[in-house]
A and B are shown apart, each in its own frame.
Chain A
Amino acid sequence: MSRTILTFAEIRNHELRQVALEAVSAAVKIAGTAPSEIASCLLVPVDTSLDALERYAESLFTHGANRVYVLKHADFTAYHAELYLGAVQQVVSTANPEFIIFGHTSVGRDLAPRLASMLQAGQISDVTAIQHEDGNLLCTRPLYAGKAVEQRAFTGTSAAPSIITIRPNNIPLSAPDSSRSGEVIEVAFAPPSLRTIVRDVVRKTSGTLDLSEAKIIVSGGRGVKSTNGFKPLEELASVLNGAVGASRGACDAGYCDYGLQIGQTGKVVTPEIYIACGISGAIQHLAGMSGSRVIIAVNKDPEAPIFKVADYGIVGDLFEVVPLLTTAFREFLEHEA
C-alpha cells in the first residue's frame, strides 16, 4: 500500500505561491524511492475559473503531485482560521496522509499548529532542508533566527501524521516535468460553524512581493532618516523586481511599518541578493539576513559591523549611492533585455 504525503497549495493574489511548489518538492524529497502518493490541497473561491484551476493543478503536477483535492467556498478569498482548518481537516480524513506540508507563511504558521494539535501530531516548523539519513528523516531548521541550526526528527509511537512547515525560498524545486499529470478531485466542502468573522482585509501590500519570498531585498536602517528616505530604496527595489525591508532601528524610529522588519524580532529572510542601506549591522539584524546568498552593504561608516558580513561594500552616503545603483541596474537590465 502506498502512503500519502499531503501538501497545502497556498494561493495569494490569484496565483499559486512559489512555496506551494516548494512544498510539493519537499514531498518528492520525503517520498524518496518509497511508493508514495503526493496530494495537494487547494482551497479556492467558488468563482474561480476552470482555466485558473487547471493552471494551478498543472503546476502542482509538473513538480510532482499526482492528485489535487479542490475545495470551494465563497470566503476562500481571504484566510479564515476556522474555515481553512475545517477544509484541511476534511482533506486529511479523506487522504489519510502520513506527512502534511505547509509553507511557513502567515497562513501556514497559523493553520499547521492548530491542525497538529487537533490530530495529536508532532510538527517541525520553519524547515529549510530535508534529508534522509540511516532511515531517518532529518529536518534542518534555524534557532535564534539562524544564529544556530538544529536537525529534528519525528519520534515516538504516535500514529498521527507528521507535520512540517517549510520556509519559503529554501527547498529546491524538483525538476519540472510537463509530461506529468494527475487527477483533480473536487471535495464537497461542509463548512464548520464559525466563531470568528473576518469583517475586512486591508491590503497594504497589493502588487508588492512578500519579503519571505522575494529574490532581491533592498533594506533600510536608521541611516534612511525618515519615511521619505525609503523612496530611493523603493525605486531600486522596483527596478530589481524586489521587496523593501527594514532594520529594527528604522521601524522603532517610525520610518516604516513593523511588517518590514528583518531580524530576530521580525522576519528572517534568505534572498539571492540583500542590499543593506544605512544599516549598521546589529546582531539581532544580522540573524535575520545572514542566510542571504549575496549581501551588499552601503554605509557611510567604514567601521560598521555590516561590512563584516557583506560580500560587497560601498562606503558612502546611501542617498548618493542608491540612486546611482538604481540607474546602473536599470541600464544593465535594459541592455540585457
Chain B
Amino acid sequence: MNIWVLLKQTFDTEEKIVLTGGGISEAGVKWIINPYDEYAVEEAIRLVEQHGGKVNLLSVGPERAGEALRTALAMGADEAVLIHDSRIPQDEWAIAKVLSAFLADQGADLILGGNFSVDNGAGQVAIRIAEQLGLPHIGSITKLDISAAGEAIVHRDAEGDTEIIDAHLPALFTAQQGLNEPRYPTLPGIMKAKKKPFRLLSLDDIPGISLQELEARTTRVSLSLPPSRQAGVILQGDLAAQAADLIRRLRQDAKVI
C-alpha cells in the first residue's frame, strides 16, 4: 500500500503567542508535528505494518519543517518530501494546488492528513486536495479498517455522533483525535531516520504548475492579540452562600441569566 501523509509543523499547544514586527514571534518556540497529523502518521505506519507498502511524508513549509518530518521518519515512516518555496502564497487554494500537483503522479493508494492544524485551524487543505485529485474523502475519522482488497470501513466523528462509511481506495481521509495513540520515536528509530530518503523540493521540481494558478484567493490584512481577560473575584463565605452569591452576581452584574 502506497500511503502519503500530509504533515505540517506547528507550535507546541502550550506555547504562548507573542507578536513582533507585525508577525508571530518564533523565538524560542518548541515545534511539534501538528497533533492531528501525528495521528495520520501513526495510522499510516500501522497500515503498512499490517499490509506492507510504504509511508511517504509530504509537507509544504520552511526548512525548519524538516525537523517534524525527521521525527515522523523516526516513528517509522519511510521517506519524506518537503516543498519549500517562498513563491507559494499563504492561502489554502494555492497550498492545496501545489500539493495536489505533486501528488498527481505519485500513485497514492491512500492519502492521510490531519483534521485541521492547531495553528491556522482552517481545515481546508487536505479536503481541497481530494477534490483536486478526484478522490473521495472522509473527514475527521476515528477508526479505519482496510481489507487486503482495498475496501475501507471508516468511522467519522460528526459532532459527537459516529458515521460509519464504506469507501474504496484510493481515497483521502483526515484524522481526528481518538483514531490511535501515536508512538514515540525510539533511539534506533531516530538513528535510522537520518539515513532515510529526504527530498527538499522547490516549485521548479513540480511539473505542470504555473505561478499564475497559484494566485492567492485570500490574504491576511491584520494580525492582533485578543483582549486579555482579567482575573475576577474569588467568592467568599460558606459554599452554599457562595452559590447564592454567584447567582446574584450573574443576574445583577454580568446580566447573563
Stretch at the interface among B60-68, B134-142, B183-191, B201-209: B134-142
Return B46 CB to nearest CB of chain A, in Å: 18
Contacts of A227 in B (CB 8 A): none
Q: Is there contact, CB below 8 Å, between B232 and A199?
A: no
Q: Is there contact, CB below 8 Å, between B93 and A324?
A: no
Choice from A123, A211, A273, A321 contacting B124 with Cβ under 8 Å: A123
Q: Is there contact, CB below 8 Å, between B217 and A122?
A: yes
Is A187's beta carbon under 8 Å from chain B?
no
C-alpha gap A123/B168 in the complex (Å): 28
Q: Is there contact, CB below 8 Å, between A199 and B217?
A: no
Specify the chain A residue showing the minimal Cβ separation from B212. A157
Is B254's beta carbon under 8 Å from chain A?
yes
Choice from A110, A136, A162, A273 contacting B139 with Cβ under 8 Å: A110
Return B141 CB to nearest CB of chain A, in Å: 11
C-alpha gap A290/B230 in the complex (Å): 11
Chain B at the A interface: SS class: mixed
Contact of A148 with B226 at beta-carbon distance under 8 Å, contacts A122-B218, A272-B256, A283-B14 already known: yes
Q: Is there contact, CB below 8 Å, between B218 and A290?
A: no
C-alpha gap A198/B166 in the complex (Å): 6
Is B195's beta carbon under 8 Å from chain A?
no
Interface size on A, residues (CB 8 A): 100
Q: Is there contact, CB below 8 Å, between A324 and B239?
A: yes
Q: Is there contact, CB below 8 Å, between A155 and B219?
A: yes
Q: Is there contact, CB below 8 Å, between B244 and A328?
A: yes
Contact of A196 with B136 at beta-carbon distance under 8 Å, contacts A148-B224, A266-B177, A273-B250 already known: yes
Contact of A145 with B121 at beta-carbon distance under 8 Å, contacts A152-B221, A157-B215, A272-B256 already known: yes
Stretch at the interface among B48-56, B75-83, B101-109, B154-162: B154-162
Contact of A156 with B164 at beta-carbon distance under 8 Å, contacts A82-B136, A273-B250 already known: no
Contact of A153 with B121 at beta-carbon distance under 8 Å, contacts A199-B165, A332-B247 already known: no
Contacts of B139 in A (CB 8 A): 81, 109-110
Is A258's beta carbon under 8 Å from chain B?
yes
Contacts of A233 in B (CB 8 A): none
Is A118's beta carbon under 8 Å from chain B?
yes
Q: Is there contact, CB below 8 Å, between A302 and B234?
A: yes
C-alpha gap A187/B247 in the complex (Å): 51
- Size range of the chain B interface in the assembly: 35 or more
Contacts of B149 in A (CB 8 A): none
Return B220 CB to nearest CB of chain A, in Å: 5
Is B120's beta carbon under 8 Å from chain A?
yes
Return B60 CB to nearest CB of chain A, in Å: 16
Specify the chain A residue showing the minimal Cβ separation from B181. A252
Q: Is there contact, CB below 8 Å, between A257 and B131?
A: no
Contacts of A229 in B (CB 8 A): none
Choice from B163, B215, B221 contacting A153 with Cβ under 8 Å: B221
Return B173 CB to nearest CB of chain A, in Å: 11
C-alpha gap A208/B218 in the complex (Å): 36
Q: Is there contact, CB below 8 Å, between B118 and A265?
A: yes
Is B73's beta carbon under 8 Å from chain A?
no
Chain A at the B interface: SS class: mixed
Specify the chain B residue showing the minimal Cβ separation from A154. B218
C-alpha gap A316/B236 in the complex (Å): 11
Specify the chain A residue showing the minimal Cβ separation from B142. A258
Q: Is there contact, CB below 8 Å, between A158 and B161?
A: no
Choice from B91, B162, B223, B246 contacting A149 with Cβ under 8 Å: B223
Most chain A C-beta atoms within 10 Å of own C-beta, residue among B14, B167, B234 = B234
Q: Is there contact, CB below 8 Å, between B166 and A196?
A: yes
Q: Is there contact, CB below 8 Å, between B158 and A150?
A: no
**Mask for A323-335, Cβ within 8 A of B = 1, else 0?**
0110111001000
Contacts of A156 in B (CB 8 A): 215-217
Return A137 CB to nearest CB of chain B, in Å: 10
Return B119 CB to nearest CB of chain A, in Å: 6
C-alpha gap A294/B174 in the complex (Å): 34
Q: Is there contact, CB below 8 Å, between B222 and A145?
A: no
Is A263's beta carbon under 8 Å from chain B?
yes
Q: Is there contact, CB below 8 Å, between A291 and B226?
A: yes
Q: Is there contact, CB below 8 Å, between A138 and B221?
A: yes
C-alpha gap A291/B227 in the complex (Å): 9
Most chain A C-beta atoms within 10 Å of own C-beta, residue among B157, B161, B216, B231 = B161
Contacts of B15 in A (CB 8 A): 283
**Interface of B toward A, CB cutoff 8 Å:** 11, 13-17, 19, 24, 35-36, 91-93, 96, 116, 118-125, 127-132, 136-140, 142, 153, 157-168, 171, 176-178, 215-226, 229, 231-235, 239-240, 242-244, 246-247, 249-251, 254, 256-257
Q: List 11 A-B contacts (CB under 8 A).
A: A113-B123, A123-B93, A148-B226, A155-B217, A156-B215, A196-B165, A198-B163, A201-B158, A251-B177, A265-B35, A311-B254
**Interface of A toward B, CB cutoff 8 Å:** 78-79, 81-82, 105-107, 109-110, 112-114, 116-118, 120-126, 136, 138, 142-158, 160, 162, 195-205, 208, 210-212, 251, 257-261, 263-266, 268, 272-273, 282-284, 287, 290-291, 293-296, 302, 307-316, 320-321, 324-325, 327-329, 332
